[in-house]
Structure 1
Amino acid sequence: MDFVSHFRNSAPYIHAYRGKTSVVWIRDHALTDERLEALVSDLALLNSLGLKLIVLFDVDCFDTELTPKDMIDPARLNQLTEAIGRRRYQLEALFSQGIANSPMHGSKMKIISGNFVMARPAGVFEGKDLQAQGRVRRVDANAIKEQLDKQHLVLIPPLGYSITGDILYLPPEQLVVELAMKTLADKVVIMGNDPMPISQGQKEMNAAQLEKLIAQQPANKLGSLELQVACEVSRAGIARCHVLNGSIDGSLLVELFTRDGVGMLIPRDQYDTFRRANLNDIQGIIALLKPLEEKQILVKRNPEKIEAEINSFVVNERDGMIIGCAAVHSLSKHQAELACVAVHPDYQKNGRGDALLNEVEKQAKQSGIRELYALTTQTEHWFVERGFKSVAVQQLPQDRIALYNVQRNSKVYLKTLS
């Protein structure tokens, strides 16, 4: 039944991704041949679900990793083109698989590669002619989009061609940004080194935060380049950039089709927000409150009551899903009652409740509230641990005392907001 549940929960992402363009950068050194074969199967699955895929690959054929400042002489260029050619043919062969009972059976994908990227020489840097080191001059975005519209996968090597007919090496860390910008990609996925040691386990961060964190790390630390490129992708206006550990089987599917994923997400806009609720949030709030109402932890509220009080609610939205809510009902000019505190079960052990309470208290203080009451029958310890003090029912404002349900016999707690 886990499969059924996971498959159903992936449906919103399948709907959201259909027809969207993603650029996937496959880093050569981070993928064994076995992992590459599995990744190709996963990419074929994404293609079958309607995603438009541009796949950029690089090669690792030297003792040290190439940088955009390295000279590419004829001998090096020959090594590069040979390695890139082998990798390209390997990828095309893997995408052409169709053995019965295999993930690729029946895919019948068309892999398109060609002169989509025009290049120019990088020129002279610090007095050194970089020779076949190139830079992107133009991306034929219309030709790429034409192939994507036919549901073809576009395969891009780290090479470009000049107007003089020369082959130039294009640093993939620059090419991936150009491809995403010129094709107006919705998402970039970098399959490379594990980003988690640098992000210290944090899975979401904006470009500014990530840039600051990277600056504190050694320049050659594994994963630094991938995260630096992710910053550039975000600053280029791409909505989402994911950095994944390419050595983990299935990481691409888990990242794209689950709410929390397994990699690092750098969103252009906020992915996880606290905000005032609106009428579109009613069903999400009801879904959070219902299990607690059934356990009699919360008083049952019908949709009409929630709709009438919607302006009192604060919600925690994560990737389009309401995962937390709380309501603050005004009792007087400086007094209010905290109610309907609920967090989705999947997020109850990672500080969501505390974050939600902090947001509620911040907004309450901005509204002039100095005393925040909470009535509870089963969660008094949670409130005590967060600074609420037990008080008598008679300490409630008179209008609230008149509405107090004696049969429910809720305990009353009060927190003074500084």
Structure 2
Amino acid sequence: MTQRRRALASPRKCSDVRLLRLFYFSCLWIYFVDGFTPRSRALSLHRRERLGRLSSTTNSFEKDETSQSSGPTGGVAFPLSYEDAQSDSLNGLNATESRAYQSVLASVLSIDPSEIEIVTIHTPADPIDPDVAEQLRHLPFVSMFRGSANYIANHRNTLAVYHIPGGLLDLEDPAIFRNLMNDIALTWLLGMKVVLVVGCRHQIEKRLNEKHRLAGVRVTDKDTLRVVKEEAGYVRFEVERELARALRLQSSGMDGNVVSGNFYSAQPLGILDGIDYEYTGFVRKVEVDKIKRLHDNRDICLLTTLGVSPSGEVFNVCSESLAATVAGAMKASKVIFFTEKETELRSTVHGKKIQSLRFSDAKALLNYSGLSINKKGFSTINERMDGKDPSTVDMLHKIGWSVEAVENGVKRAHIISPKYGSVLQELYTRDGSGTLLSGDLYEGIRRANVNDVSGIYELISPLIKMGTLIDRPKNVLEKDIEMYYVYTRDNLIVACGQLKKFEKGYAEIGCLVVNSEYRKGGRGDAMLGYLERMCVMHGCTSIFVLSTQTMEWFLERGFEEVGVEELPPSRQATYNHVRKSKIYLKRIESVRDLDANELWWNR
């Protein structure tokens, strides 16, 4: 799998980020004056990376035709994963046993948490800017414009909650924090609705001369609360000052203010295990309507960790918990956590960066690491993590709060570095920069087994009668069942698809059918995306379909019409010239191509 590029501090990378900023600013007139609002198909998927071993076992050649043509054809079933190989056959299983196997069969794209390590990246200081005029001469303006336009359009009018740890305000290089505020202001300028949650843990621990405690829960007495108030006021003022400056510089006269206030209420943590946590609290209620009215005025909402109760008491709230809770209450499109050091997930199997985690993989990693999230707004971690690098523990906590946010309805969570324009790279470029976590949009999709034959046949029969699909008797379906995948809801098959592998990196998708009652729920896009990811995972980058009726649907999803000569030789030999199905081909360079496509169908 091709991994996303990491934002390194090389002169070329830093130059690219500055050019990206200049490019976005120069294009604002098009978007805000001409009202450029391109239509986007709704889709936002998470990136997944297949780690683990795959069995080299393949199955015999299929004798049957794909969805829109007839006659014999070649093709092999995709190999089973190592989890699948543990069960040779599902014949004879009852319904309970079959459901138990479904979770195993659905784990083809999963990541083993024991094969993930957290690595801190050490990079040199930011180089001095070269001459801007020289940069502009080499600016790939057209390709950058085309590459970013879809992302800009997709993110417009969506809500992002940014979590800013207090340590970013005290970095040795003040330009890092200043540039971060510039980039956040730029996302606002490009049409995003922004909520900022700023923490002050770093400042409090310096004042109290305490060891950095990421896993523990602070007991906030009256003296500590006074320190919290002072430091929360300091970080609020610094963020507001830098962000207001950035808005004035970049807004070109557009109205917009940074507004802070009581946009949430808090309540005390109380007494846990015999310990009175006094003025330590957690979020009681988020004032969603007030924040929405603020966004209607094109203002930015700024929140600190001081929450007030209805009785007037002030409580110290965990900033990560606050960001996740606010994002969930607002049903934000994304929550973005910044690390204080450059940290990434890396596979211990092949050494590559893991740029995205499925929700289930993230939870597995947390369980493996012994981290848990308490509903009262704090996180705890297993004692065996004591002595680990603080950056590693901090990354785990951010993954934990990302899981909490996604579980509460946030579509995506991002964990990124504050340096080198990572925000712009993560949101507006194909290659991204950080770690993404999102819900399991493929939940319910699995490889079919013989118990699914009747359900598949019932699903495709109406299209066979209409002539859209060729006939597939039950005995043929049973023989070739390992080539089929099904999408289930409450044990009902609502969609299916067939996948066949050919020589020279080709694969064919066929029999892609969605129950008519579920066609507006994105099941077809999810099934297609899953099958495309299976293709890439097995080295097939040229994917084709044959169709006589649904041509436009595939064209809208990046396929292009080609001639028979573009098919692999074995498929050319079995093409049915009487049926004259049209052929549509899609070439995928990397999984990031799929990520870009999937942005549009689950927005």
TM-score under structure 2 length normalisation:
0.46
Corresponding residue of 1:212: 364
Corresponding residue of 2:236: 88
1:354 pairs, out of 538, 545, 561, with: 538
Q: Structure 1 130/269 Cα, relative in aligned 2: closer, same or farther at 3 Å?
A: same
Corresponding residue of 1:281: none
Identity of aligned residues (%): 25
Contact in 2 for aligned 1:313/1:325 (Cα 8 Å): no
Corresponding residue of 1:230: 402
Contact in 1 for aligned 2:255/2:298 (Cα 8 Å): no
Corresponding residue of 1:41: 182
User: In structure 2, how many angstroms separate the alpha carbons of the residues matched to 1:55 and 1:141?
Assistant: 14
Residue 109 in structure 1 maps to residue 290 in structure 2: no
2:191 pairs, out of 25, 50, 57, with: 50
1:252 pairs, out of 423, 444, 452, with: 423
2:508 pairs, out of 307, 327, 336, with: 327
Corresponding residue of 2:289: 142
Corresponding residue of 1:26: 164
**Shift in Å at residue 99 of structure 1?**
10
Could you give the per-residue CA deviations for residues 66-105 of structure 1, whole angstroms, max 9, x where no partner exists?
65632011222122111111111111111222699x5566
Contact in 2 for aligned 1:203/1:264 (Cα 8 Å): yes
User: In structure 1, how many angstroms separate the alpha carbons of the residues matched to 2:499 and 2:233?
Assistant: 55
SS in structure 2 of the partner of residue 188 of structure 1: strand
User: In structure 1, how many angstroms separate the alpha carbons of the residues matched to 2:301 and 2:539?
Assistant: 43
User: In structure 2, how many angstroms separate the alpha carbons of the residues matched to 1:53 and 1:11?
Assistant: 20
Q: Structure 1 49/398 Cα, relative in aligned 2: closer, same or farther at 3 Å?
A: closer
Residue 241 in structure 1 maps to residue 413 in structure 2: yes
Contact in 2 for aligned 1:22/1:186 (Cα 8 Å): yes
Contact in 1 for aligned 2:219/2:280 (Cα 8 Å): yes
Corresponding residue of 2:298: 151
User: In structure 2, how many angstroms separate the alpha carbons of the residues matched to 1:181 and 1:14?
Assistant: 23
Q: Structure 1 96/327 Cα, relative in aligned 2: closer, same or farther at 3 Å?
A: same
Mapping of 1:61-76 within 5 angstroms?
61=203, 62=205, 63-65=211-213, 69-76=217-224
**Shift in Å at residue 325 of structure 1?**
7.8
Corresponding residue of 1:182: 329
- For structure 2, list consecutive stretches of 5 or more residues without a partner in the other structure: 1-138, 206-210, 370-383, 448-495, 512-534, 545-563, 581-603
Partner AA of 1:327 in structure 2: E
Contact in 1 for aligned 2:405/2:413 (Cα 8 Å): yes
Corresponding residue of 1:334: none
User: In structure 2, how many angstroms separate the alpha carbons of the residues matched to 1:44 and 1:68?
Assistant: 34
User: In structure 1, how many angstroms separate the alpha carbons of the residues matched to 2:575 and 2:236?
Assistant: 76
User: In structure 2, how many angstroms separate the alpha carbons of the residues matched to 1:130 and 1:353?
Assistant: 50
Q: Structure 1 74/242 Cα, relative in aligned 2: closer, same or farther at 3 Å?
A: same
Contact in 2 for aligned 1:198/1:214 (Cα 8 Å): no
SS in structure 1 of the partner of residue 191 of structure 2: coil
Contact in 1 for aligned 2:506/2:543 (Cα 8 Å): no
Could you give the per-residue CA deviations for residues 286-344 of structure 1, whole angstroms, max 9, x where no partner exists?
xxxxxxxxxxxxxxxxxxxxxxxxx99979xxxxxxxx9843689xxxxxxxxxxxxxx
SS in structure 2 of the partner of residue 83 of structure 1: helix
**Shift in Å at residue 8 of structure 1?**
2.3
Contact in 2 for aligned 1:97/1:104 (Cα 8 Å): no
Contact in 2 for aligned 1:274/1:359 (Cα 8 Å): no
Corresponding residue of 1:286: none
User: In structure 2, how many angstroms separate the alpha carbons of the residues matched to 1:358 and 1:377?
Assistant: 10
SS in structure 2 of the partner of residue 97 of structure 1: helix
User: In structure 1, how many angstroms separate the alpha carbons of the residues matched to 2:420 and 2:413?
Assistant: 19
Residue 201 in structure 1 maps to residue 372 in structure 2: no
User: In structure 2, how many angstroms separate the alpha carbons of the residues matched to 1:120 and 1:71?
Assistant: 14
SS in structure 2 of the partner of residue 254 of structure 1: helix
1:130 pairs, out of 252, 270, 277, with: 277
User: In structure 1, how many angstroms separate the alpha carbons of the residues matched to 2:239 and 2:212?
Assistant: 24
Corresponding residue of 1:11: 149
Contact in 2 for aligned 1:24/1:55 (Cα 8 Å): yes
**Shift in Å at residue 152 of structure 1?**
0.3
Corresponding residue of 1:321: none
Contact in 1 for aligned 2:283/2:325 (Cα 8 Å): yes
TM-score under structure 1 length normalisation:
0.64
**Over the residues paired in the alignment, what is the CA RMSD in angstroms?**
4.1
SS in structure 2 of the partner of residue 92 of structure 1: helix
User: In structure 1, how many angstroms separate the alpha carbons of the residues matched to 2:346 and 2:231?
Assistant: 30
Contact in 2 for aligned 1:313/1:326 (Cα 8 Å): no
Between 1 and 2, higher relative CO (CA 8 Å, sep ≥ 6) is seen in 2
Q: Structure 1 355/176 Cα, relative in aligned 2: closer, same or farther at 3 Å?
A: farther
Corresponding residue of 1:290: none
User: In structure 2, how many angstroms separate the alpha carbons of the residues matched to 1:179 and 1:258?
Assistant: 26
Contact in 2 for aligned 1:110/1:152 (Cα 8 Å): yes
